[in-house]
């Protein structure tokens, strides 16, 4: 917390605006949309809820296909299942770790030949970096398929001067407790289509019709963000740039200290924009360094330091093994390799330099203990 959040929360208590909706919800929506450059925004209970509403807005029905980045958290996929949709997974490209345009092109052409184009493509902007959206949007426009940007991890990132999450028909952000700014739990749906946002606003408040009594002619949800949590979000939004700067500095210290070790590489930053470096992710080449991410994670855990593997691809999840999957090239799956060799390091915005130096020292010690390491000059 920055400290500024308490002023907004105190105001909510002082004015007795505790329940969902209220002036902080309106203010948070207006300030967030102004910050990212969209015409409107809708504050919801989670990023998952925002994806669900976006899918309803594009007209998903039972049995519809939806293409989704495979290297992601399952929240990107669950809303497809809520509506009885059929996820089809698209591999990453090595340059960004995000959706591969060439895999997407093969998947779209296969769907066209089958006569079942997807109802939407959900592009995930992984670990704070935007996907390469120009070729993705060009492909989707050519096939008449809307793009939903899952920017849960990339608020504050840019793509060719535009805010991540604002290039597709709909964008979503998450304010979960682990995100770059947080409301403890919450999300936002953004779009330039104000009519669509108005419809989602109606659905998200139980789809109550305009009547004196409680009248409902459509299916609705209890998806709105509370006024108290929106107040926290307004305070957090004021320090977003500071949070991005802190995460990028953490990444740079890791890279400067560890990248000189042969066999260690870090998630690349694409030239088309700026990543927030929400999480610092690196890979270990097992042909050079005789260890695995799991062994390093266990070593750090023994010192009360949490690290994690990169996301397990969705096409490998037991729940989703029957879904189709299109690899970056016909012979090679980038996301499988990243999962096998990748590790996410402690990256919290409030991490101190001595704390990070301790993590770096322990990682270096582990790598050197496993075999002689060749270091570049």
375, part of any domain: no
292, part of any domain: yes
**pLDDT digits over 276-300, tens only?**
999 999 999 999 999 999 999 999 9
Q: How far apart are alpha carbons 194 and 192 in whole angstroms?
A: 6
Last residue of a domain, one of 192, 222, 240: 240
Q: How far apart are alpha carbons 160 and 166 in whole angstroms?
A: 12
Bridge partner residues of 19 (DSSP): none
Same domain, yes or no: 62 and 148: yes
CATH number at residue 146: 3.40.640.10
Give the pLDDT band of residue 242 (cuts 50, 70, 90).
Answer: very high
Residue 139: phi and psi, rounded to 5, are -65, -50
214, part of any domain: yes
97, part of any domain: yes
Same domain, yes or no: 151 and 288: no
| Average pLDDT over the chain, rounded to an integer | 95
Does residue 45 sit in helix, strand or coil?
A: coil
Same domain, yes or no: 309 and 294: yes
376, part of any domain: no
Residue 371, pLDDT score: 58
* % of the chain exceeding 70 in pLDDT: 98
Last residue of a domain, one of 188, 211, 240: 240
Same domain, yes or no: 145 and 271: no
Give the pLDDT band of residue 375 (cuts 50, 70, 90).
Answer: very low
Last residue of a domain, one of 189, 206, 240: 240
Residue 376, pLDDT score: 46
- Catalytic sites, residue numbers: 179
**pLDDT digits over 259-272, tens only?**
999 999 999 999 99
3-state helix, strand, coil in the chain (%, to 5): 40, 20, 40
Residue 15, pLDDT score: 86
DSSP string, 101-145: HHHHHHHHHHHHHHT---SEEEEE-GGG----HHHHHHHHHHHT-
Same domain, yes or no: 148 and 118: yes
Does residue 12 sit in helix, strand or coil?
A: helix
Same domain, yes or no: 273 and 180: no
Residue 350: phi and psi, rounded to 5, are -95, 15
Q: What's the predicted TM-score (pTM) here?
A: 0.94
Same domain, yes or no: 100 and 11: yes
Taking residues 354-371, what's their average pLDDT? Answer: 91
Instruction: Provide the number of structural domains found in the chain.
Output: 2
Q: How far apart are alpha carbons 294 and 344 in whole angstroms?
A: 11
What are the start-end ranges of the H helices in 205-319?
227-237, 240-258, 293-301
- In this structure, of 17-31, 56-70, 74-88, 287-301, the range with the lowest mean pLDDT score is 17-31
Nearest to 99 by CA among 143, 65, 132, 140: 132
**pLDDT digits over 172-198, tens only?**
999 999 999 999 999 999 999 999 999
Number of residues written out for the chain: 377
Same domain, yes or no: 155 and 246: no
Same domain, yes or no: 351 and 262: yes
Do 127 and 119 form a contact (C-beta atoms < 8 A)? Answer: no
Same domain, yes or no: 233 and 347: no
Same domain, yes or no: 150 and 299: no
- Provide the domain limits for residue 227: 5-240
Same domain, yes or no: 172 and 255: no
CATH number at residue 261: 3.90.1150.10
Q: How far apart are alpha carbons 263 and 286 in whole angstroms?
A: 8
């Amino acid at each position: 917390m920055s400290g500024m959040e308490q002023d907004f929360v105190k105001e909510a208590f002082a004015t007795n605006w505790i329940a969902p909706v209220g002036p902080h919800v309106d203010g948070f929506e207006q300030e967030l949309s102004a910050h990212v450059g969209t015409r409107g925004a809708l504050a919801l209970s989670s990023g998952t809820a925002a994806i669900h509403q976006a899918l309803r807005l594009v007209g998903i029905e039972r049995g519809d296909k939806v293409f989704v980045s495979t290297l992601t958290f399952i929240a990107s996929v669950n809303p497809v299942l809520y509506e009885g949709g059929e996820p089809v997974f698209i591999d990453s490209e090595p340059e960004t770790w995000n959706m591969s345009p060439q895999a997407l092109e093969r998947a779209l052409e296969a769907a066209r030949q089958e006569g079942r184009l997807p109802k939407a493509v959900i592009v995930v902007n992984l670990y704070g970096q935007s996907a390469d959206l120009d070729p993705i949007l060009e492909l989707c426009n050519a096939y008449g398929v809307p793009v939903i940007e899952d920017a849960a991890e990339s608020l504050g990132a840019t793509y060719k001067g535009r805010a991540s999450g604002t290039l597709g028909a709909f964008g979503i952000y998450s304010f979960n407790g682990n995100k770059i700014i947080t409301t403890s739990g919450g999300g936002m749906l953004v779009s330039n289509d104000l009519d669509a946002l108005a419809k989602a606003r109606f659905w998200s408040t139980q789809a109550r019709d305009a009547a004196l009594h409680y009248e409902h002619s459509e299916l609705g949800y209890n998806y709105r963000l509370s006024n108290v949590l929106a107040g926290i979000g307004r305070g957090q939004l004021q320090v977003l740039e500071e949070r991005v700067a802190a995460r990028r500095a953490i990444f740079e210290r890791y890279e400067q200290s560890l990248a000189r070790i042969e066999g260690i590489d870090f998630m690349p930053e694409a030239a088309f924009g700026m990543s927030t470096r929400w999480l610092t992710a690196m890979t270990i080449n097992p042909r050079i360094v005789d260890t695995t991410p799991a062994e390093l994670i266990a070593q750090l855990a023994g010192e009360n330091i949490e690290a994690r593997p990169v996301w397990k691809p969705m096409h490998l999840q037991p729940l989703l093994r029957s879904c189709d999957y299109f690899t970056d090239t016909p012979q090679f799956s980038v996301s499988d390799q990243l999962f096998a060799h990748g590790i996410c390091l402690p990256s919290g915005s409030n991490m101190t330099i001595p704390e990070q130096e301790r993590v770096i020292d322990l990682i270096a010690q582990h790598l050197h203990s496993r075999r002689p390491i060749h270091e570049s000059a």
